[in-house]
Chain A
Amino acid sequence: MWVRSTMAYRTSFLIMTLGNLLATGLDFVAIALMFTHIGELGGFTLDEVAFLYGTTSVAFGLADLTLGTMGRLGSRVRDGTMDTLLVRPVPILAQVAADRFALRRLGRITQGVLVLGWSLSRLDIDWTVDRALLMPVALLSGGVIFGALFVLGGAFQFWAKDASEVQNAFTFGGTTLLEYPPTVFGKELLRGVTFVVPLAFVNWLPALHILGRPNPLGLPGWIGFAAPLVACGCCAVAGLAWRAGLRAYQSTGS
């Protein structure tokens, strides 16, 4: 239904999809502009940074396409329209995900795939079996980890009601972080995103193994393969938080 309703305003839809393509595109243009002044950033070349950029963008795009509407949950809790979802015989999570499903978000994945393809064509990667295998696994687990963050943020809205910005800090902030090489950031921050909010598993840890780079924290190369496990763990936490949030939900009004 939302796909059809979007199509009702065709010009706007076209502009929006193009805008989405451009959205993350301009980010990458900014990184490319940085590289007109420097050869390496934190010891990484433009091709390698493009690889990091592309993998984050695809993983985030997957999560955003399916669960990006979680950010709107706060307004539903505020104006009480959450109730209409509760009385329908369909899982609430599925309803929130489908609410205002926006096809235009395909733009972000497309752009990520383009940058990733460009970087792969320029990088000289030694494609051993484990590396080739890690690639799709990492992209999917990365998408799942971001998805779990979206759900977690959504669950938080049941209490906070209008704090979708906090969610942005982790999701959009996370993508910005992961677009750059881990060597750029302080060790404290790296530990935080490895062990506390496991964003590093979205792309940094698998990417370090694929690019044949040492881990700045001294962790072994196989840690990248833990991404699916971490993704499952994130889902479990997000699921629990979601249920607790639903239980805590109090409708507005009398």
Chain B
Amino acid sequence: MRLYAAVAVSGFKRYATYRVATVAGVFTNTVFGFILAYTYTALWDERPHLGGYDLAQALTFVWLGQALLAAVALMGGGFQEELQERIRSGDIAVDLYRPVDLQLWWLATELGRALFQLLGRGVVPMAVGALVFELRLPASPLTWLWFLLSVVLAVCVGFAVRYLVSLAAFWLLDGTGLAMLSGLLCLFFSGMILPLNVFPGQLGEIARALPWAAMLQVPADVFLEEHRGPGLLRAFVFQAGWAVALLAAGRALQSAATRKVVVQGG
């Protein structure tokens, strides 16, 4: 356990060294936040209470998305590229010899990275958004705590999805195409482009049941206090359920891939 904590700390430190990149990221998130906030204002002007949100809630959703984009890696990234490169080059063979669990190792680095990104790239855009627009911030301090728990679960689900995608590199060798496709699906089905409760009819129901919903829509709804009492519990069960199921799938795929690893090494 101490080992994985150390790995997480090193994941945090590693991203903390890129200061200019962090500032640049904050700038980009803020610019996108403004563009989306203006479009959403026009949209909610036409249809107030669209998807059950009022304008303040919709704008809060926009800025939450920008704040969580890097932390939950909604566009992909994080450990993914490195792991795929190690699989492609065959270095993964060395990793498999190590007396640590491969999946837990990468999950630990991911949690460290996410914590840094949440602080480094999340707080400032959210603060700017709250200063310029009228946002709906949680009234109860307890909600902030529930929100953080929900974000941790979101990071786990995001990790589990990208771990599965990365392992596909064992079969495809060059996994960049699949990684890109997965990033795009995530942007669309997490609610990043448009909140999932605005999706019409059946499409909306399906989108809200998919694992990507656990990555932005659910934490945002927890923040907006849309889930209360038993609803809150259901939201956490939904997130944790997907996290466990996908991590287990990753584990199964990993053992299948390990049996195949000889291919590159000869």
* Cβ-based interface call for B176 (8 A): yes
Name the distance in Å between B35's Cβ and chain A's nearest Cβ: 5
B28 touching A19 by the CB < 8 A rule? no
B39 close to A (CB within 8 Å): yes
Give the secondary structure class of B's interface.
helix
Contacting residue for A176 out of B32, B176, B184, B203, CB 8 A: B32
Task: Report how many residues on chain B are interfacial, defined by Cβ distance under 8 Å.
Answer: 40
Residues of B within 8 A of A173 (CB): 28, 31-32, 35
Contact (A12, B47) CB under 8 Å given A34-B194, A163-B21, A184-B39: no
Say whether A121 faces chain B, with CB atoms less than 8 Å apart: no
Contacts of A14 in B (CB 8 A): 177
A29 near B38 (CB under 8 angstroms)? Answer: no
Is B24 a contact partner of A160 (Cβ separation < 8 A)? yes
Cβ distance A50 to chain B, nearest Cβ, rounded Å = 15
- How far apart sit A240 and B35, CA to CA, in the bound complex (Å)? 30
A38's nearest neighbour on chain B, judged by CB, is: B46
Q: Within A131-187, which residues are at the interface with B (CB < 8 Å)?
A: 160-166, 168-169, 173, 176-177, 180, 183-186
Q: Is B50's beta carbon under 8 Å from chain A?
A: yes
Select B28's contact among A18, A166, A184, beta carbons within 8 Å. Answer: A166
A169 to B198, CA, bound (A): 26
- Judged by DSSP, the binding face of A is helix
Q: Which of A20-28, A207-215, A244-252 contacts B (4 or more CB under 8 A)?
A: A20-28
Give the chain B neighbours of A128 by CB distance below 8 A: none
Separation in Å of the B106 CB from the closest CB of chain A? 21
For residue B36, which residue of chain A has the nearest CB?
A176
Q: A13-B177, A19-B177, A26-B193 known; A165 and B21 CB under 8 Å?
A: yes
User: B28 near A168 (CB under 8 angstroms)?
Assistant: yes
Q: Which residue of B lies closest to A162 (CB)?
A: B21
Query: Does A42 belong to the interface (CB within 8 Å)?
Result: yes
Residues of A close to B32: CB separation below 8 A: 169, 173, 176
**Bitwise interface map of A from 1 to 33 toward B, beta carbon under 8 Å scored 1, else 0:** 000000011011111101110110011011001
A37 at the interface (CB under 8 A from B): yes
Distance in Å from the Cβ of B201 to the closest Cβ of chain A? Answer: 9
Given A15-B181, A33-B200, A189-B38: A162 and B47 interface contact (C-beta under 8 Å): no
Q: How far is the CA of A176 from the CA of B35 in the complex (A)?
A: 8
A254 within 8 Å of B (CB atoms): no
B157-194 contact mask (Cβ, 8 Å, vs A): 1 or 0: 00000000000000011111110110011011000011
Q: Which residues of A contact B97 (CB under 8 A)?
A: none
Bound state CA distance, A183 and B42, in angstroms?
9
Q: Judging by beta carbons under 8 Å apart, are B42 and A184 in contact? A: yes
- Contacts A37-B50, A176-B35; A9 near B27 (Cβ below 8 A): no
Given contacts A18-B181, A41-B42, is CB(A9)–CB(B28) below 8 Å?
Answer: no
Which residues on the B side are within 8 Å of A177 (C-beta)?
Answer: 35
Q: How many A residues face the partner with a CB closer than 8 A? A: 45
Docked pose: A168 CA to B29 CA in angstroms = 10
A34 touches B198 (CB 8 A): yes
Closest to B181 in A: A19
CB of A40 closer than 8 Å to a CB of B: yes
Which B residues from 1 to 51 make CB contacts under 8 A with A?
A: 18, 20-21, 23-25, 27-28, 31-32, 34-36, 38-39, 41-43, 46-47, 50
Interface pairs A-B: 6 shortest CB-CB: A16-B177, A15-B177, A9-B174, A165-B24, A12-B177, A163-B24
Residues of chain A having any CB pair with chain B under 8 Å: 8-9, 11-16, 18-20, 22-23, 26-27, 29-30, 33-34, 36-42, 104, 160-166, 168-169, 173, 176-177, 180, 183-186, 189
- Extra contacts, 12 of them, besides A29-B188, A34-B43, A184-B42 (Cβ < 8 A), are A12-B176, A15-B181, A23-B184, A37-B46, A41-B39, A41-B46, A163-B24, A165-B24, A165-B27, A169-B27, A169-B28, A173-B28
Residues in B lying within 8 Å of A, measured CB to CB: 18, 20-21, 23-25, 27-28, 31-32, 34-36, 38-39, 41-43, 46-47, 50, 172-178, 180-181, 184-185, 187-188, 193-194, 198-200, 203
Can you name 25 A-B residue pairings with CB atoms under 8 Å? A12-B173, A12-B174, A12-B175, A12-B176, A15-B180, A16-B180, A16-B181, A30-B193, A33-B198, A34-B194, A36-B200, A37-B47, A38-B46, A38-B47, A41-B39, A104-B177, A165-B27, A166-B24, A168-B28, A169-B28, A173-B32, A176-B35, A176-B36, A184-B38, A189-B38
